[in-house]
Amino acid sequence: MLLLAVQSLFAQNTFRYEYPVKPGAPEWRELSLRQKRAVQQIPENILRDMSTQELLQAWMDLPGRLEVLAFNTMQQGFDVTVKHYNVLSELLDREDAGSVVLAYYLEIDPSGMKLVWSSRQKGKFITDIAFVEFLLSQPTVLSRLSKMEKKQLLKSCVDNLYKKQAFRNRERNFFWVRSAIILAGRILENEKNNQFLQKISQDEDMKRALNTGKASSKAVYEKLCEAVINIAENYSSP
């Protein structure tokens, strides 16, 4: 019922915060990094009145969110982004953040990507999904989900992982597969699944990949993916 209500709010939501200066504008090229971050701060009086759904959309529209990819690991990049952009810190402070982002994620279909799209279109589609998955994988977000919601999220995540793998075989893009693997693994870790905890405790590379969002090689992700799928399919079943 809660998810249906949240999805209905997304459909009804008409407010969309417009950042005053965006990439591509002549003024953007003249700004330093500090100035770019400054023009992406939402005024406090507006920020406080925004719904959680509006905050999520504002973060999805935030040019600076791509800074997540500019650091050694995705987790490091995400942590830095929280410090520099008030829309993300406000979103993470909302009590209903978990349910709102989950509702948004359940509407996503990775198989909607078209092979005829341009590289730019594919890149945005892939990045948008990956960023939602990494947002959901944050401990502050997972901790606000009920056990039932986490099971629902895990099932959807594994289903999406299969869909992504089909495209990966044709497109050879590993980035968006990785975010689903990390999300599924962190759900199992958050739920203290003994089988999964024992599995990663025996492999420092897998544990590091789960904690940081980055592995030393694709082989580590492949091992983590296999562990996640085998355990998640049993765990998320009724």
- Structure confidence at residue 214 (pLDDT): 87
- Structure confidence at residue 173 (pLDDT): 62
Q: What is the arithmetic mean of pLDDT over 27-34?
A: 94
- Structure confidence at residue 238 (pLDDT): 57
Write out pLDDT tens, residues 176-196. 788 999 999 999 999 999 999
Does pLDDT of 76 surpass 70?
yes
User: For 29, phi and psi rounded to 5 degrees?
Assistant: -70, -20
Q: What is the arithmetic mean of pLDDT over 18-42?
A: 94
List b or e across 160-198, with b for residues whose CB sees 16 or more CB atoms inside 10 angstroms: bbebbeebeeeeeeeebbbbbbbbbbbbbbebebeebee
- Structure confidence at residue 34 (pLDDT): 95
- Structure confidence at residue 137 (pLDDT): 97
| Residue of higher predicted confidence among 64 and 237 | 64
Q: Which of 149, 74, 66, 73 is nearest to 105 (CA)?
A: 149
- Structure confidence at residue 12 (pLDDT): 54
In the predicted model, what is the mean pLDDT of the chain? 88
Q: Considering the chain, what percentage of its residues have pLDDT values greater than 70?
A: 90
Q: What angle do CA 78, 84, 89 make, to 5 degrees?
A: 70
